[in-house]
Amino acid sequence: MSQKNIFYPFIVLLCLFGGTLFGQQTLTGTTTDETGETLPFVNVVIESLSIGTTSDLDGNYTFEVPNQENLEITFSFIGYASQTIPYTGQSTLNVILGEDTNLLDEVVVVGYGTQKKSDITGAVSIIKVEDAKKVPSTNIAELLRGKSPGVQVTLTDPSPGGSSSIVIRGISSFGGSDANKPLFVVDGVPQEDINGINSEDIKSMEILKDASSQAIYGARAANGVVLITTKRGKKGELKIAYHGYRSTQKLVRNFDLYSGDEWVQLRREAYRSESGRLNEDGWEEYEPDDFVFTPFQLDVLGTGKYINWEDEVINDATQQSHSVSLSTGSDKTSLFSSFSFFDQNGIIPKSGYARGTARLNLDHKVNDKFTFGTNIYLTADKTDRRSGSLNFITLPPLAKVFDDNGDVIRYPTGEIEKTSPLWNINESTNEFFTNRFQMTVFAQYEIFKNFKYKLNTSITRKSGQGGTYQTRLHSSATGVLGKATLSGSIDKDFLIENIFDYNLDINDNNRMDFTFVQGISKGSKEFSKTTATEFPNDLLGYNGIASAANILPVERRVVERQLLSFMGRMRYYFNDKYLLTLTARRDGASVFSENDKWGVFPSVAVAWKAHLEPFIQNLEFVDELKLRISHGSVGNQAIAPYTTLGLASAENYLFEGAVGGGYSPGRSLFNPDLKWETSTTSNFGVDFGLFKNFLVGNVEVYKASTTDLLINRTTPGSTGYSDILVNIGEVENSGVEVGLTANVIKKKNFEWSLSSTFSANSNKIIKLSDEVDENGNYLDDLSRRRFIGHPISVIFDYKYDGIWNSQEEIDGSHMPDSRPGDIRVQDINSDGKIDAEDRVIIHKDPDWYGSLGTNVSFGGFDLYAELYHVAGAIKYNNYLAGFNEGGSLQGVLNGIKVDYWTPENQTGTYPRPRRNEFPSNLGTTAISDATYTRLRTVSLAYHLPDIITKRLKLSDVTIYGTATNLVTWTDFLSYSPETTVGAYPDGKNFLFGIKITN
Amino acid sequence: MKYIKLIMLLFFVSISFIACEEFLEENPKTDVSIKYLYENPEGLKAAVIGLYSVNRDHFHIYPHEGARAVWEHVQSDLVTPHAGYISIVALFSQSSSAPDQHGAWLSSFIWRDHYKVIDRANAIIQAAEKIEGMDETERQTVMAEAKYFRAHSLFTLYRFYNNVYVTEEATTPENVFDKVFAPSTKEEIFEAISSDLEEAIPNLEWTVPAGRVNQGLARHIRAKLALWEENWEVAAAQADTVINNGTFYLEEDLNKIFGHPSVAESYGSRNSSEALFVIQNEEGSAGAGPPTFINTNFMPRYDDVPGVKWDKSQGGRGFGFCSPNSYLFSLYESYDKRLDAYYQRYFYYNDEENMPDSVLTDNGWVYPKLGDAAEIVTSGSNQSAYQRRLTPGLLKMIDRNIAGEEAVSRANILRFRLSETYIVAAEAYMRMGNTGMATQRINPIRDRAGIQPLFSLSENELMKEQAREFAFEGQRFFFLKRIGKLVSQIQKYAGEDSYKNDARSNIKDRHINVAIPQSELDLLGAGYPQNEGY
């Protein structure tokens, strides 16, 4: 390192404290826009010296310019075209900044390089990162919600440190969530999950949605690609930014549980229906209370002190986050570094998540031809896991939570099947620690003019360590004197890519560029787990495992997967109006069968910038109009390693106490012939900007067909296997996506814009196997509820048709075995009986979903609000129909309050409670409309006025408050329309934060 | 300089190209491949041990508190159901017995468990026929054990589902979707079972480590099959061979068969001299299998009674799902030793802290003290306090190795015992009209229980003795079904006269066969028949 670099930080510091070490001249001036209005906050910068100032509220600036030759001053302001003016020693310089009409022409990361937005030929969504970050979250997927059409984000685990799933343009694979997960590429390195990333580090996010843009990632791109680029250092003085927030989460529900008295009545009804003694109306008589209730329950009933379990267990949860980032750079070296700390308490006592991250992104330019850089990213987190479920709210209200001393009562309902949730929380520890280290090193060398070689390498190590302990008093560890598990995992990944770039400018009208990539990558996962029981005492928890008397069999798993890839891309620009992109990637994956390891994924895309044609240029109101068409294929390799080999798992046995080492093939039959799943997509897109970019947007229409689907087919039980993975069948996704932004008002002190997204996707199974019926139509897979011509996600059940009110109705009906109070289902084929033929197919996927957001900036205030709407989604609400979820109306558990049928309440829409019977066809009542509209975000920010920030020697201080999930309109009975009652809900969140930049 | 760098780069590139194909090869590290299992003598021996484990997986805690493991135990005339899913099975209700309702989902585990055993046995038998380099005796033993399991599972399937089919071809990726359109005939099924057993018998040892398949077991099952075939001579001959061989003999002390709390803990293994086959399990062992709730299913919740708490010496923890009914107890003489050996009829006060001062019983107020048998009013409105709590418990499944309050058990399960061989022989001789041999075979069981010998044997008496000796051992359903008395017995005796006797009205002729789950029928060839009446 040269001396200059060593002293570099000092130089930066000198700059920072506004040194006047050199001779200076004072330059003053006014900044105005084209209409003559003054422009405040314009950046006035001499980039070569990394010094600058900004204009004040009246557009006036004063700048001390050093006495040097050949200085250039740059004036810039967001939304306006920057101007760079040579400084010739004058003392006044007034500048008029013109509006930047071509806002669209940002540079976009497209994978293995960048491209001007206007040159893109595929369907690429660019996320407005600043809007996205207005709902700060460790759950990065949530940042994407509602920000891009075609991208459906669904909360899967809202518990502290939880996650969401992202589905881009519908489900195309039967492999479950893992096989439908997009590929995440962070700074050029594919990763399994992105939740480790500090959202403050994110500079840009793009989503590749069609095969032409995805094809560069070939075999892993079938579910779309999410590209994330982190911030890098910029030449200039040290910029320090702080962002901190605190938030409180509150649970909101749209259903009632039975109150104490209501539950008592429910139980009486459940017993009554089986009493067998009839009154004069022919209905059963009630049983006496001392028959219906246990002595314990009678006791509580007498006192009337009913328990609301929600109040007893659930707390408001808080979060806090602090993040500091530093950015600076010299001519040769620049760095970006950040540190963050995040801490979250769950709504269940003792649950929580804490995380620290650190990043260093470094770039160094050795000479004009050779540059290199590195990204180092570290995270450490700790999760305190508790019950992942709120199932305890179904505990009966006839209970006692605390004894006279205020201690938790172990069996609050007097029954030993039901241990108090608080008891188990107190008697257990469940901690999980993750440490992640990722280092990327890249170098670029210009071998000759326009021909560059880039090396991209990365290693990742992720270690997880889990420890659980259940004391001898915990319900799962009674009798075994305490139980501990200690688990450890190490994930190792490496990537090496050789990337060649060649630009060929044939002449002004013909430009071409070529990219060739060769890469290898490998990932392995090692997992071990030890379980032990019989601890001498509970003092040390799981760390006392060495003193446990009984060590249970140790688990160990190692899986590895390798990938070899070659990719070539050619982009051709003719006249800058006609664009062509050709891409092909060839991938080899270890997980496939010996003869089918390789797959080739080609694509082609063309685009036409129509607005550059004279006949469109004549249309005043059109600023941009670009048409795009693409076609190509990508793959999916989401199967587990060794699936094609056929493995036998350990099945040990005992003979008179001696262990015999046994093996047997598992429940899935191996298939030696597995190969890639291939998705072929055609995409048609239009990008437009109208009326001086008053209205900016894009429309995409696509159709994707996935063939050679990796389908887990249920095998007949008589084969001895449950299923087999096969390459067969075809699924089609087609849809429309619209993204629109209206820049309604755009004045310097008042801006108002509206943006919306709309996505509709239709998912259809074309073929599941080669088997056909007598008419030559492909057969359904009934056992897996998969039907030709219907989407993948369906419910297949009878159709609820009310409740039978009387025996007269039942006699001679299609359900002769029913009794009054039973559920009536529809005889769909009207054959007078209910059998398998009467089940109907119900589609679960939403018809469409979208968002509407608005941004208002006025003075120092920014207001952002966003509505999110999911239309026509159907979900199965197991809390309306499950025994363990309190849905079965047997008077055993509490549950969602419903209008159940009794002889006196014949308008009830749920069946008659019966103590010993699970109501027939109860599942039909649980099929619920999960359409919802949610005011997802309201965020108000205030930028402290310049006068104050200047005095504080800061460039910006913003305080803001964000409310999340403020209002939800839905008929789906739950805490949150995306999860059922028992799942850890995402409640209302109120957040207050501050951002400070020097 | 420029070229040196270029060469370096190209070198780097070429490294990445080296050994492409090798790089993509898969080498599992923590599992063995199927190829090894079936093509290597050591692998094949491991596969047979795996077969024992697969066979044991049927006795599993999942789903519904392990209801699949005790389905055939509760569909009988000797049971009072109280609660839990298994009680619904005992009620023959629509939801538990119809092919498209919840019970069929549970039943599909039984279907799949046994067909899985058959498939893994098929694979072992096929591999053993082809294997090279294996010791011939070992090879024959491997085949014999696999054939025993195949025969037993097919026998069980037939007795459950009637419309089953014989498969002797191991499942492969090529044949997995070959459709089956019709069940095998009864004759084909019996032929498959008997030929497997008869091929296995000569290659099985009499004396083996506990838990292993032996010749006595194979002959015992052969004898039981012969009863289904109504081939009384074969039944009697096979049973007599087992009885006369001497390897197995009736345990004199009834308490030692199931490891009654009064005998040494080691008897809790149930590997007694009378045991023909015991499913082996052990908490914490590397050879441990899944946990079960079998004991808790049949032990009442006496801990709910003030003054009584969980106690392993009283049978351990219970859920009180099903209990032996009054009809069963009415069959015993008051002095029958089996009453105390097989059942925990009374639960004794053992919780000093919570002793009640006085308790109302059927005989008026009593003032209990520690060690007294707990009593409460059993009838009227108090019945709910009595049922499930102080109804008798079953001691045939208890776990001697766990604390009284623990529900999850890995105790051994006694599947077949010599006592049944005696009763099989007795029935066979009875059917042949050989009263002398029939009574000679049944009287040792009675004698051991301390009741008078019989001088003649009728089917009615046989039925009663079967109940007394084998209640809740999972044989009653098949036994009654075979002799055609299932429906009539259940109509008369299931549950209690004034409590939980819905099975008496629910049972229909169709219930002698368990419905083939609709989900399985959907997967079989079009037109594969459901059992009659469903």
From B119, B282, B381, residue closest to A291, measured CB to CB: B381
pLDDT range class, residue B248, cuts 50, 70, 90: very high
Q: Give the length of chain B.
A: 534
Distance of alpha carbon A221 from the chain centroid? 17
Tokens (6 digits) for A368: 């004009």
DSSP type of residue B197: H
Q: Is A683 helix (H, G, I), strand (E, B) or coil?
A: strand
A665·B34 Cβ contact <8 A: yes
> Who among A294, A478, A671 is closest to B173 (CB)?
A671
User: A479, B180: Cβ pair inside 8 Å?
Assistant: no
At CB < 8 A and 24+ separation, what contacts does B183-186 make? B183/B528, B183/B529, B186/B158
Does residue A16 contact residue A237 with C-beta atoms inside 8 Å? yes
Give the CA angle between residues A120, A126, A130 to the nearest 5°: 150
Query: Is residue A324 pLDDT above 60, yes or no?
Result: yes
What share of residues in chain B are helix, strand, coil (percent, to 5)?
50, 5, 40
| Residue of B117, B406, B522 with shortest CB distance to A478 | B406
| Strands annotated E in B4-147 | 32-33, 79-81
Which segments within B247-397 are labelled E, that is strand? 275-279, 322-324, 343-344, 359-361, 364-366, 393-394
Residue A177: what pLDDT? Answer: 67
Span A798-823, pLDDT tens digits: 999 999 998 888 888 888 888 889 99
Q: Cβ atoms within 10 A of the Cβ of A935, count? A: 16
User: Which candidate from A290, A447, A649 shows the least CB-CB separation from B31?
Assistant: A649
- Which uninterrupted H or E stretch holds A142? helix A140-144
| CB spacing of B48 vs A417 below 8 angstroms | no
Structure letter (DSSP) for residue A879: G
List, for residues A58-89, the tens digit of each pLDDT value: 788 888 888 877 788 888 876 677 788 888 87
Chain A residue with minimum CA distance to B119 = A720
Count of residues in chain A: 998
Give the whole-angstrom CA distance, residue A628 versus residue B217. Answer: 75
Q: Using the beta-carbon criterion (under 8 Å), do B112 and A717 form an inter-chain contact?
A: yes
ipTM above 0.90, yes or no: yes
- Can you read off the two tokens belonging to residue B407? 């529900």
**Best residue in A472, A529, A649, A663 to probe B by mutation, most B CBs within 10 Å?**
A663
Summarised one tens digit per residue, pLDDT across range A823-881 is 999 998 888 888 878 889 999 989 999 999 998 988 889 899 989 999 999 999 888 88
Put simply, the chain B residues between 64 and 93 with a CB less than 8 A from any chain A CB are 83, 87-88, 93
Q: Which of A12-26, A119-133, A195-209, A385-399 has the least mean pLDDT?
A: A12-26
CA A823 to chain centre: 39
Predicted TM-score (pTM) of the model is 0.76
Give kind and range of the element (H or E) at residue B418. Answer: helix B418-432
A187 neighbors A228 (Cβ within 8 angstroms)? yes
Taking a C-beta distance cutoff of 8 angstroms, is the pair B165, B184 a contact?
yes
**In angstroms, rounded to a whole number, what is the distance separating the alpha carbons of residues B52 and B210?**
12
- Tokens 């071998």: give the residue: A447
Contact flag B287-A654 (C-beta cutoff 8 Å): yes
Task: Find chain B residues with C-beta within 8 A of A595's C-beta.
Answer: none
**Which residues in chain B are closer than 8 Å to A718, comparing Cβ atoms?**
111, 115, 118, 164-165, 167, 180, 520, 524
For residue A656, the chain B residues in CB contact (below 8 A) are 209-211, 271, 280
Higher-pLDDT residue of A165 and A701 is: A701
* A745 vs B421: which has the higher pLDDT: B421
Q: What is the 3-state secondary structure (H, E, C) of B114-169?
A: HHHHHHHHHHHHHHHHHCCCCCHHHHHHHHHHHHHHHHHHHHHHHHHHCCCCCCCC
In DSSP terms, A486 is beta-bridged to: A467, A530
Whether A6 has a pLDDT exceeding 80, the answer reads: no
**Which of A642, A651, A888, A914 is the best mutation test for B, with the most CBs of B within 10 A?**
A651
**Inter-chain residue contact A714 with B51, CB threshold 8 Å:** no
The dihedral through the CA atoms of B283, B285, B291, B295 has a sign that is: negative
- Nearest-CB residue to B16 (from A518, A558, A724): A518
pLDDT tens by residue, A344-400:
888 888 888 899 999 999 999 998 889 999 999 999 999 888 765 677 888 888 888
Q: What is the pLDDT of residues B28-61, one digit of tens each?
A: 888 888 989 999 999 999 999 999 999 999 999 9
Partners of A670 on chain B (C-beta within 8 Å) are 34, 173
Q: Is the pLDDT of residue A94 over 60?
A: yes
Q: Please give the mean pLDDT across all residues of chain B.
A: 93
Q: Residue A9's pLDDT band (boundaries 50, 70, 90)?
A: very low
- Answer whether A646 sits within 8 Å of B520, measured CB to CB: no
Q: State mean pLDDT over A86-96.
A: 83
| Mean pLDDT rounded to a whole number for chain A | 85
CA distance A440 to A564: 19
What amino acid occupies position A309? W
pLDDT value of position B14: 52
CA distance A962 to A247: 9
B138 touches chain A (CB under 8 A): no
Contact call for residues B342 and B257 (beta carbons, < 8 A): no
Residue B381: band (very low, low, confident or very high) from pLDDT cuts 50, 70, 90: low
Rounded to an integer, the average pLDDT of B457-463 is 97
Please answer yes or no on whether A290 and B280 come within 8 Å at the CB atom.
no
Q: What is the pLDDT of residues A774-791, one digit of tens each?
A: 888 888 888 788 899 999
> What pLDDT does residue A712 have?
84
Cβ <8 Å between B47 and A652: no
Nearest to B176 among A656, A657, A719 (CB): A719
pLDDT in tens, A585-628: 998 889 888 888 888 889 999 999 888 888 888 888 888 899 99
Question: Is B355 part of the contact surface with chain A (CB cutoff 8 Å)?
Answer: no
- Coil vs helix vs strand at B46: helix
State yes or no: pLDDT of A3 exceeds 80. no
CB-nearest to B384 from A291, A480, A716 is A291
| Average confidence (pLDDT) over A292-308 | 85
Positive or negative, the CA dihedral A967, A971, A972, A978 is negative
Using CB atoms within 10 A of its CB, is residue B111 exposed (0-12), middle (13-18) or buried (19+)? buried
- Summary count for chain B: helices (H), strands (E): 24, 9
Task: Give B373's DSSP letter.
Answer: B
Highest-confidence segment of A978-987, B374-383, B494-503? B494-503
Q: What is the mean pLDDT of residues A651-661?
A: 93
| Radius of gyration from C-alpha coordinates of chain A | 32
CA–CA separation, B418 vs B278, rounded Å? 12
**Residues of A in Cβ contact (< 8 Å) with B303:** 416
Q: Check CB contact of B102 with chain A, cutoff 8 Å.
A: yes
* Inter-chain residue contact B173 with A550, CB threshold 8 Å: no
CA–CA separation, A301 vs A296, rounded Å? 9
B54 at A interface, C-beta within 8 A = yes
Q: Report how far residue A230's alpha carbon sits from residue A224's, in angstroms, rounded to the nearest whole number.
A: 20
Integer angstrom CA distances of residue A496 from A190, A360, A490: 11, 20, 20
B116 inside 8 A of chain A by CB: yes
Asked if B287's CB is within 8 angstroms of A557's CB, the reply is no
pLDDT value at residue B377: 87
pLDDT-derived band at B5 (thresholds 50, 70, 90) equals low
Contact list, A648 vs chain B (CB under 8 Å): 31-34, 36-37, 47, 50
pLDDT band at A20 (very low <50, low <70, confident <90, very high): very low
Q: Give the burial class of B2: count Cβ atoms within 10 A of its Cβ; 0-12 exposed, 13-18 middle, 19 or more buried.
A: exposed
Look at B52 and A662 and tell me if their CB atoms are within 8 Å: yes
Q: What's the rounded Cα separation, in Å, for the pair A354 and B42?
A: 50
Query: For residue A864, how many other CB atoms are within 10 A of its CB?
Result: 20
Q: Is the pLDDT of residue A10 over 60?
A: no
Write phi, then psi, for A179 (nearest 5 degrees): -85, -5
